[in-house]
Structure 1
Amino acid sequence: MPAPPSSGRTLLSRALGRRLRLLLPGVASLSVWQVCEALVPVAIGVVVDIAIIPRSLPMLAVAVAGIALLFTVLSFGYRFGARLCNAAREHEAHALRVEVSHAALTSPDLPPDRASGEVLSIASADADLAAEVFAHLGRGVAALLGMIVAAVLLVLSDAVTGLLVLVAVPIGLVLVALPGRAVSEKAGAQLAATARAANSAADLMRGLRVIKALGGSAWALRRFRATSDEAAVAGVATGERSGRLSGVGALVMSVVLAVVLVVAGLRLIDGQMSVGALIAILGMTAFLTEPMRALADIVGLTARSHGAASRIAALLTDLEGTHDAREAPAGPGPAAPPHTAPPRTAPRVSITAHESGLTVSGDAFPSVDVPAGTLVCALVDDDALAHYVLTVLTSQSRVLGPHHLLVTPHAVDLFEGTIRSNITMSSGTDTADSTAVPPATAPTPAPPTPTPAPGTSPAKRPATAGGAVAPAVLAASGAQEVLGLVVDGLDHRIQELGGNLSGGQRQRIALARALHAQSRILVLHEPTTAVDAVTEARIAADIAGLRREAVTLVVTGSPAFLAAADSVVYVPAGAPAVTGTHSELIGAPGVIGDAYREAVAR
Structure 2
Amino acid sequence: MPAPPSSGRTLLSRALVRRLRLLLPGVASLSVWQVCEALVPVVIGAVVDIAIIPRSLPMLAVSIAGIALLFTVLSYGYRFGARLCNAAREHEAHALRVEVSHAALTSPDLPPDRASGEVLSIASADADLAAEVFAHLGRGVAALLGMIVAAVLLVLSDAVTGLLVLIAVPVGLVLVALPGRAVSVKAGAQLAATARAANSAADLMRGLRVLKALGGAEWALRRFRTTSDDAAVAGVATGERSGRLSGVGALVMSAVLAVVLVVAGLRLLDGQMSAGALIAILGMTAFLTEPMRALADIVGLTARSHGAASRIAALLTDLAETHPKTHSAAEAPTEPAHAAPSHDGPSHSGPSRAAHPQAEPGHAAPPHGAPRLAVTAHASGLTVSGDSLPAVDVPAGTLLCVLVDEDALAHDVLTALTSQSRVLGPDHLLVTPHAVDLFEGTIRSNITMSSGTDMTASPGTAPAAPPASGDVAADVLAASGADELLGLVADGLDHRIQELGGNLSGGQRQRIALARSLHAQSRILVLHESTTAVDAVTEARIAAGIATLRCDAVTLVVTGSPAFLAAADAVVYVPADAPAVTGTHSGLLGAAGTIGDSYREAVAR
- The TM tier, using the shorter chain, reads over 0.9
Residue 429 of structure 1, aligned match among 447, 452, 457: 452
SS at match of 1:554: strand
CA contact (8 A) 2:529 2:560 kept: yes
Alpha-carbon distance between aligned partners in 1 of 2:374 and 2:431, rounded to the nearest angstrom? 15
Sort the Cα spacing of 1:350 and 1:152 in 2 relative to 1 into closer, same or farther, 3 A: closer
Which residue number in structure 2 is paired with residue 525 of structure 1?
528
SS at match of 2:365: coil
Which residue number in structure 1 is paired with residue 398 of structure 2?
374
**Amino acid paired to 1:313:** A
Work out whether 1:339 is the aligned partner of 2:367: yes
How far residue 484 of structure 1 moved from its aligned partner, in angstroms, is 2.0
Q: How does 1:52-63 map to 2 (within 5 A)?
A: 52-63=52-63
How far residue 463 of structure 1 moved from its aligned partner, in angstroms, is 3.2
Which residue number in structure 2 is paired with residue 16 of structure 1?
16
Work out whether 1:492 is the aligned partner of 2:479: no
Which residue number in structure 2 is paired with residue 396 of structure 1?
420
Alpha-carbon distance between aligned partners in 1 of 2:258 and 2:244, rounded to the nearest angstrom? 21
Structure 1 residues 354-363 or 138-147, which shifts more? 354-363
Which residue number in structure 2 is paired with residue 113 of structure 1?
113
CA contact (8 A) 2:448 2:454 kept: no
CA contact (8 A) 1:328 1:336 kept: no
How far residue 583 of structure 1 moved from its aligned partner, in angstroms, is 1.0
Which residue number in structure 1 is paired with residue 354 of structure 2?
none
Which residue number in structure 1 is paired with residue 263 of structure 2?
263
CA contact (8 A) 1:322 1:340 kept: no
Sort the Cα spacing of 1:336 and 1:554 in 2 relative to 1 into closer, same or farther, 3 A: closer
Alpha-carbon distance between aligned partners in 2 of 1:314 and 1:506, rounded to the nearest angstrom? 35
Which residue number in structure 2 is paired with residue 133 of structure 1?
133
Sort the Cα spacing of 1:569 and 1:400 in 2 relative to 1 into closer, same or farther, 3 A: same
Alpha-carbon distance between aligned partners in 1 of 2:223 and 2:376, rounded to the nearest angstrom? 43
Residue 537 of structure 1, aligned match among 535, 540, 552: 540
Alpha-carbon distance between aligned partners in 1 of 2:129 and 2:52, rounded to the nearest angstrom? 49
How far residue 567 of structure 1 moved from its aligned partner, in angstroms, is 1.1
Residue 383 of structure 2, aligned match among 359, 362, 368: 359
How far residue 359 of structure 1 moved from its aligned partner, in angstroms, is 2.7
Sort the Cα spacing of 1:144 and 1:359 in 2 relative to 1 into closer, same or farther, 3 A: same
Alpha-carbon distance between aligned partners in 2 of 1:477 and 1:161, rounded to the nearest angstrom? 84
**Amino acid paired to 1:135:** A
SS at match of 1:485: coil
Sort the Cα spacing of 1:142 and 1:397 in 2 relative to 1 into closer, same or farther, 3 A: same
Structure 1 residues 10-19 or 398-407, which shifts more? 398-407
Which residue number in structure 2 is paired with residue 474 of structure 1?
477
CA deviations on 1:477-511 (whole Å, 9 max, x unpaired) are 11122222222222222222112221111111110
Work out whether 1:576 is the aligned partner of 2:604: no
Which residue number in structure 1 is paired with residue 242 of structure 2?
242
SS at match of 2:113: coil
SS at match of 1:379: strand
Alpha-carbon distance between aligned partners in 1 of 2:29 and 2:389, rounded to the nearest angstrom? 70
Q: How does 1:493-512 map to 2 (within 5 A)?
A: 493-512=496-515
Sort the Cα spacing of 1:196 and 1:329 in 2 relative to 1 into closer, same or farther, 3 A: farther
SS at match of 2:278: helix
**Amino acid paired to 2:308:** A
How far residue 313 of structure 1 moved from its aligned partner, in angstroms, is 0.9
Q: How does 1:68-87 map to 2 (within 5 A)?
A: 68-87=68-87
Residue 559 of structure 1, aligned match among 532, 539, 562: 562
How far residue 327 of structure 1 moved from its aligned partner, in angstroms, is 3.5
SS at match of 1:578: strand
SS at match of 2:391: strand
Work out whether 1:412 is the aligned partner of 2:436: yes
Alpha-carbon distance between aligned partners in 2 of 1:527 and 1:340, rounded to the nearest angstrom? 29
CA contact (8 A) 1:325 1:396 kept: no
How far residue 406 of structure 1 moved from its aligned partner, in angstroms, is 0.8
Sort the Cα spacing of 1:520 and 1:340 in 2 relative to 1 into closer, same or farther, 3 A: farther
How far residue 361 of structure 1 moved from its aligned partner, in angstroms, is 3.4
Sort the Cα spacing of 1:263 and 1:214 in 2 relative to 1 into closer, same or farther, 3 A: same
Structure 2 alignment gaps of length 5 or more: 334-359
CA contact (8 A) 2:398 2:554 kept: yes
CA deviations on 1:445-501 (whole Å, 9 max, x unpaired) are xxx97x97xxxx6333x6312222111111111112222222222222222211222
How far residue 104 of structure 1 moved from its aligned partner, in angstroms, is 1.2
Work out whether 1:458 is the aligned partner of 2:482: no
Alpha-carbon distance between aligned partners in 1 of 2:568 and 2:376, rounded to the nearest angstrom? 19
Sort the Cα spacing of 1:113 and 1:531 in 2 relative to 1 into closer, same or farther, 3 A: same
CA contact (8 A) 2:325 2:365 kept: no
Count matched residues.
577
How far residue 554 of structure 1 moved from its aligned partner, in angstroms, is 0.8
**TM-score, normalising length: structure 2:** 0.92
SS at match of 2:252: helix
Alpha-carbon distance between aligned partners in 1 of 2:232 and 2:388, rounded to the nearest angstrom? 53
Work out whether 1:384 is the aligned partner of 2:388: no
SS at match of 1:318: helix
Alpha-carbon distance between aligned partners in 1 of 2:433 and 2:182, rounded to the nearest angstrom? 43
Which residue number in structure 1 is paired with residue 195 of structure 2?
195
Sort the Cα spacing of 1:250 and 1:484 in 2 relative to 1 into closer, same or farther, 3 A: same
SS at match of 1:230: helix
SS at match of 1:410: coil
CA RMSD between the two structures = 1.9
Which residue number in structure 1 is paired with residue 212 of structure 2?
212
CA deviations on 1:365-424 (whole Å, 9 max, x unpaired) are 753322211111111111111111101111111122211111111001111222222111
Sort the Cα spacing of 1:368 and 1:78 in 2 relative to 1 into closer, same or farther, 3 A: closer
Structure 1 alignment gaps of length 5 or more: 434-447
Structure 1 residues 329-338 or 275-284, which shifts more? 329-338
SS at match of 1:573: coil
Alpha-carbon distance between aligned partners in 2 of 1:215 and 1:265, rounded to the nearest angstrom? 75
Structure 1 residues 233-242 or 485-494, which shifts more? 485-494
Which residue number in structure 2 is paired with residue 513 of structure 1?
516
How far residue 360 of structure 1 moved from its aligned partner, in angstroms, is 4.1
How far residue 325 of structure 1 moved from its aligned partner, in angstroms, is 5.1
How far residue 529 of structure 1 moved from its aligned partner, in angstroms, is 0.7
How far residue 362 of structure 1 moved from its aligned partner, in angstroms, is 4.3
Alpha-carbon distance between aligned partners in 1 of 2:470 and 2:389, rounded to the nearest angstrom? 45
Sort the Cα spacing of 1:556 and 1:430 in 2 relative to 1 into closer, same or farther, 3 A: closer
**Amino acid paired to 2:462:** P
**TM-score, normalising length: structure 1:** 0.93
Which residue number in structure 2 is paired with residue 437 of structure 1?
none
Sort the Cα spacing of 1:357 and 1:139 in 2 relative to 1 into closer, same or farther, 3 A: same
Alpha-carbon distance between aligned partners in 2 of 1:215 and 1:22, rounded to the nearest angstrom? 54
